[in-house]
Structure 1
Amino acid sequence: MKGDGDEQVHLEDISPTPPDQQYSNRDLRVDTSPANPQNWPVWKKDAQILMVAFHSMAATFMAAGIIPAYDTMAEAYAVTVPQATYLTSAQILLLGICPLFWKPITSTYGRYHVFIFSVLGSMVCNIGGARCTTYGTQMVTRVLTAILISPPMGIGSGVIAELCEPEKRAQKLGWWTLMLTLGTPGGPLIMGFVTKRVGFEWMFWIFAMMNFGQLIAYLLLGEETLYIPADGDTYGANPERPRFFQKLIPRRINPHPLKLREFIEPLLYSRFPRVLIPACAHAIVFCYGNIALIVEMPIAFGEKFNFDSQQIGLQFIAIVIGCLLGEQLSGPMSDWFLQVMHRKKGYHRPADRLWLSYIGFGTVIAGLLVWGFQLEKATSWNMTPCVGAAIASFGNQIITTILISFAVDSYKESSTNVGVCINFFRHIYGFIGPFYFPPMFNSLGLAGAAGVMCAIIGACALPSVIAIQFVATRTDRKRQDVTH
C-alpha cells in the first residue's frame, strides 16, 4: 500500500526527468504566452484533438481495411490466405512498438512536424502499395506505412493532456479512443465495398487520399502543442505565435539532450500498478471485445453464409454502432461523475472513474456470449450475432476510455509515456491473438471460444481493476488526510 501511495511522489526515481515533463511543475495556466496551448480558444484545441484522433483512426483503419481483400490478394500475389493475413499482423505489431521510437523525438522536436512527416510518408507508401505486383513488395509498403503512421497511437494522450483540464479530459480522451477503436471495424466496412466494386488496389489509393486530406488539415489548422517555458521567462521560449511559413520549419523545442534510455522509458512505467493494471486489463478486453470479432467476422460469416466481401463488410456496422453508443456513456458520463465526486469529497480522485468500468465489463461479457452462441446455432443469417457484437463493442469502448483516463489522471504529467505504454501492451497482446484464434474457434466452436474469452476477461481483467480501485482509493484518501 505504501509503495502505491508513494508512486506519484517518487516517479522521478525511475529515470531522469523526461523532456516533456522537465517543466511540468510550472503552472502553465498563469502563463499568458500565445504559444501556450492553455491560452488557445476552444475551437483550436478541439481541432488539434480531432486531427490527432483521426490520425490514430487512420492507422488502425489501414491495418484492418485490407481484411476483406485477403482472398483476392492471396490469389493476385500467389500466396495462401494465412500468408495474406500477415500483412495485417505485421502492422498490428509495429503500431505497438514504433511509438516507443517516436515519443522521444516528439518530446524534443515537437509533435507538429512529426505528424506532418507521418502522413506525408504514409501517403507515399500507400501509393506504392497500389502499384505493387508481388507479396514481398506489398509487405514492405505495409511495414513502412505502419512505422510512419504510428506516432499518434501513443502520444495522442499526451497531446490531449496538454490541451485539457481534468474535468474535460475523459471526454476528449474518449474522442481519441473512439476514433482509434472505430478504425478496426471501419476499415473492413468500407473496404469491403471497394474490394468488390473496383478492386483491392483502390484500397491503397483511398488510403493515400486520406493521408493527403490529413496533410492539408495539418498545414491549415495544425499547431505545435508541446510548450516548454524558458527559464526565468513567464512568456515562454516562443512568446509570439509563429507565422504560417515559420511554423513549417522544424526546430528543437526542448533543449534537454536526447538520451538512448528515453526510447524505452515508457515501458518503465509498467512498474506502477496504476499503469500496469489498466494496460493489461485494457489489452485483454480490447483483444477479445474488438480484435477477435474483427478477425473472425469474415471467416465465420464467409464460411457459414457464403458472404462476399461487401456482405461481410456490412456486418461491421454493428461494431461501429456499439462503439459510438459506448463512448456516449464512458466519456461525458465519466467526467460528470468525477465532478460530482469532486464536489462531494472536495478533492480529485482518479479511481472514482473506475466505477463506470464495471458496466463495460458486464456488457462486453454478455455481448461476446450472445455473439458466439447465436452465431454457432444459426443456420441462416439473422441479426442476433450482430446485436451481440454491438453489445460487446459497447462495453469495450467504455472500458477503453475509462481505464486510459484513469491511468492518465494518475500520472497526468507523464501522459505521453502512459499512452505509449498502454498502446504497447494493447498491440502486443492483440498481435498474438490472431495466431491462436483460428485453432481455438475450430476446436471449441464459436460458443466455446466465446466462453473461454469471457472467462479470461472475468478471471484476469475484472479482478485486477477491482483491486487497483480499492488500493488507489485507500491510498488517495490517506494522502488527502495527511495533507489536511
Structure 2
Amino acid sequence: MCTVGCGSWDPTHLENALPPSPDQYAQGTDFWADNSPANPRNWPAWKKNSQILMVAFHSMAATFMAAGIIPAYDKMAEDFGVTVTEASYLTSVQILLLGVFPLFWKPITSIYGRYHIFIFSVLGSMACNIGGARCTTYGTQMVTRVLTAVLISPPIGIGSGVITELCEPEKRAQKLGWWTLMLTLGIPGGPFIMGFVTQHIGVQWIYWIFAIINFGQFVAYLLLGEETSYMPTESEADMARPGVFQKLIPRRINPRPLRAREFIEPLLCTRLSRVLIPACAHAIVFCYGNIVLVVEMPIAFGKKFHFNAQQIGLQFVAIIIGCLLGEQLSGPMSDWFLQALHRKRGYHRPADRLWLSYIGFGTVIAGLLVWGFQLEQATTWNVTPCVGAAIASFGNQIITTTLIAFAIDSYKDQEAATNIGVCINFFRHVYGFIGPFYFPPMFETLGLGGAAGVMCAIIGACALPSMIAIQFVATRSSH
C-alpha cells in the first residue's frame, strides 16, 4: 500500500486491494497508521477539525469568488463595453480553471507540503483581487480572474485527501460534508452577498472584499494552520513544532524527484469504476442541480421581473437553505446509517451509502421541474420557483456528499483519497464549464419548463441508472 507522500501511485492495484478488517474499521484506524505524535491522525480533535474547517473555507472562497461577480454582469458589461454574455465568461473561465489546475497543485503539495501552498494560494489570490479592483478594461479583468482561479484552486481538489487523513472512518462522510457543503455554498453565497455590494457600494468593492477574505485566511493559516502531509521517516528535529514565523519558511518535505506522470495521475482514477461512474453522475447532477440555477437566476429573474442586483441576490437564499438542509441528511445520516448496518451485519460496505443518494435524485428532479414550470408561468414574482430551487439544491447536496464519500470509502489508500478528489473535481468543473454556453439557447428555444424537463431527463437517463448499476455490482462483489 502506498502512504502519503509516495512517489508514484498506481490505481489499478486498488481494485483488488483488501480493505481493513471490520474490527480495524470500527476502531477508526487504518492498518498502515502509526502512533507517532507527528502523525496528523493522532492530533487532538480540535486541531484536526480546525484544519478541516480552514480547508473547507478555502474551497468555499474559490467558488465564492468565481460566482460573486454574477450580480455585476450588467454593470461590468456597461463599464467595459462588452455584452452581458461576454461578461459572464469572467465566471465561466474560472469554473474551468478551478477544475483543471488542482491537477497541477496536487503533485506540488506532495513534495513541498500543503501548508505553504495554501499560504501562497491566499496571498497570490489577494494580490490578484486587489488588481481586479483597479482594472479598467475587460482584458485586464480577465487576466486577474484567470490568475485568481489558478492560485485559489489547490484545496478544491486535495481537500478530500486532507479530510480523509485527519478524520476517523466512521465520521468521514460528516467531515467530507463540511467540505462539500462549504464548496457548494460558495456558489450561491457569492451572488447573494455581492448583490448587496453591487447595489450599494459599487462593483470595485466586490474585489476589495475578496482581498479582505484572503487576508483573513492568511491570518488563520498563520495562527492555526499546520502541515497535514505526514512523512513517517521525519527526524525528531523535523517533528519539533516551529515558531509562528518559522512556519512561513518553505521547506521540501519529500526528497524524491517530481515526476511528470504525477500531473495526470488523478485522471488515471477513471480506470476505477467506483470513481468514474460517481464522478460522471455527480458532474451531471451538480451542473443541473446547482450551476444552472445560479447562472440562470440573474437572467431569468432580471429579465422577467426587472430585478436589480440586490433583488436578484436575495433569490439565492433558497439555494443556500436547500444546501444546508441537504447536508444534515447526507453527512451525519450517512455515517449513522453505515454504523447501524455495521453493527447489524458485522462488516462495512461502502455501497450502502448509495441508498441515501436516491432521495437526492428524486428531490433534484422534482425541484428542477417546480423551478422551471413555476418560473415560466409566473407573471409576477412568487415564492414557488425559489421553493423549487431549494428542493433541487437539497437533493444536489445529498448526492454530492454521498457519491464523494462512496468513491473515497471504496479505496482505502490515503493517496487515493486525494487523487479521487482531484478527479471528481475535474469532471464536475469541466462539465459545469460547458453548461453556460448552451444554457441560454436551450432556455430560449424550449422555455424554462421544457429545459427543466430536458435536464431531468438527462439526470434520469444517465446519472441515476449508472448509480443503480454500480451499487448492484459493488454490493454483490462485497459478499
User: What band does the TM-score fall into relative to the shorter chain?
Assistant: over 0.9
Show the 5 A alignment for 1:4-153: 7-9=14-16, 27-28=32-33, 30-33=34-37, 35-153=38-156
Question: Aligned-pair distance for 1:236?
Answer: 7.3
Residue number among 182, 185, 190 corresponding to 1:187 in the alignment: 190
Question: Aligned-pair distance for 1:412?
Answer: 3.3
Q: Which moved more, 1:35-44 or 1:194-203?
A: 35-44
> 1:390 is matched with which residue?
390
Kindly report structure 1 stretches of 4+ aligned residues shifted beyond 6 Å: none
Question: Aligned-pair distance for 1:25?
Answer: 8.3
For 1:242 and 1:464, how far apart are their aligned partners in 2?
49
> What is the RMSD computed on CA atoms of the aligned residues?
1.7
For 1:103 and 1:118, how far apart are their aligned partners in 2?
13
> 1:452 is matched with which residue?
454
Which secondary structure does the structure 1 equivalent of 2:226 belong to? coil
For the pair 1:427 / 2:429, whether they are aligned, the reply is: yes
Question: Aligned-pair distance for 1:5?
Answer: 11
Q: Which letter maps to 2:219? A: I
State the Cα deviation string for residues 47-69 of structure 1 (Å, max 9, x = none). Answer: 00000000000000000000010
Question: Aligned-pair distance for 1:228?
Answer: 1.5
State the Cα deviation string for residues 171-206 of structure 1 (Å, max 9, x = none). Answer: 000000000000110000000110010110100000
Question: Aligned-pair distance for 1:245?
Answer: 3.0
- Check the 8 A contact 1:351/1:469 in 2, yes or no: yes
Residue ranges of structure 2 left out of the alignment (5+ in a row):
1-10, 19-28
State the Cα deviation string for residues 375-397 of structure 1 (Å, max 9, x = none). Answer: 01001000000000000000000
- Check the 8 A contact 1:126/1:145 in 2, yes or no: yes
- Check the 8 A contact 2:281/2:466 in 1, yes or no: yes
> 1:306 is matched with which residue?
306
Which secondary structure does the structure 2 equivalent of 1:9 belong to? coil
> 2:228 is matched with which residue?
225
Residue 7 to residue 224, structure 1, CA distance change in 2 (3 Å)? closer
Instruction: State the aligned residue count.
Output: 457
> 1:481 is matched with which residue?
none
> 1:318 is matched with which residue?
318
Show the 5 A alignment for 1:357-368: 357-368=357-368
For 1:412 and 1:327, how far apart are their aligned partners in 2?
24
Which secondary structure does the structure 1 equivalent of 2:82 belong to? coil
Show the 5 A alignment for 1:333-482: 333-413=333-413, 414-477=416-479
> 2:8 is matched with which residue?
none
- Check the 8 A contact 2:266/2:422 in 1, yes or no: yes
Residue 257 to residue 26, structure 1, CA distance change in 2 (3 Å)? farther
- Check the 8 A contact 1:61/1:187 in 2, yes or no: yes
Q: Which letter maps to 1:399? A: I
Which secondary structure does the structure 2 equivalent of 1:412 belong to? coil
For 1:201 and 1:247, how far apart are their aligned partners in 2?
33
Show the 5 A alignment for 1:233-312: 238-312=238-312
> 1:329 is matched with which residue?
329
- Check the 8 A contact 1:99/1:153 in 2, yes or no: yes
For 1:348 and 1:255, how far apart are their aligned partners in 2?
37
Residue 118 to residue 6, structure 1, CA distance change in 2 (3 Å)? closer
- Check the 8 A contact 1:228/1:236 in 2, yes or no: no
Question: Aligned-pair distance for 1:10?
Answer: 6.2
- Check the 8 A contact 1:192/1:313 in 2, yes or no: yes
Question: Aligned-pair distance for 1:249?
Answer: 1.7
Residue number among 177, 180, 203 corresponding to 1:177 in the alignment: 180
**TM-score calculated relative to the size of structure 2:** 0.93
For 1:25 and 1:330, how far apart are their aligned partners in 2?
24
Which secondary structure does the structure 1 equivalent of 2:331 belong to? helix
Question: Aligned-pair distance for 1:161?
Answer: 0.6
For 1:223 and 1:126, how far apart are their aligned partners in 2?
25
- Percent of pairs identical after alignment? 79
For 2:221 and 2:230, how far apart are their aligned partners in 1?
18
Q: Which letter maps to 1:130? A: A
For 2:157 and 2:410, how far apart are their aligned partners in 1?
17
- Check the 8 A contact 2:129/2:144 in 1, yes or no: yes
Question: Aligned-pair distance for 1:96?
Answer: 0.4
Which secondary structure does the structure 1 equivalent of 2:245 belong to? helix
Question: Aligned-pair distance for 1:476?
Answer: 1.4
For 2:409 and 2:117, how far apart are their aligned partners in 1?
25
Which secondary structure does the structure 2 equivalent of 1:238 belong to? helix
State the Cα deviation string for residues 269-316 of structure 1 (Å, max 9, x = none). Answer: 011110000100000000000000001110110111110110000000
Q: Which letter maps to 1:205? A: W
- Check the 8 A contact 2:68/2:194 in 1, yes or no: yes
Question: Aligned-pair distance for 1:158?
Answer: 0.4
For 2:387 and 2:369, how far apart are their aligned partners in 1?
11
Which secondary structure does the structure 2 equivalent of 1:244 belong to? coil
For 1:25 and 1:161, how far apart are their aligned partners in 2?
11
Question: Aligned-pair distance for 1:26?
Answer: 6.2
Question: Aligned-pair distance for 1:348?
Answer: 1.7
Which secondary structure does the structure 1 equivalent of 2:239 belong to? coil
- Check the 8 A contact 2:14/2:411 in 1, yes or no: no
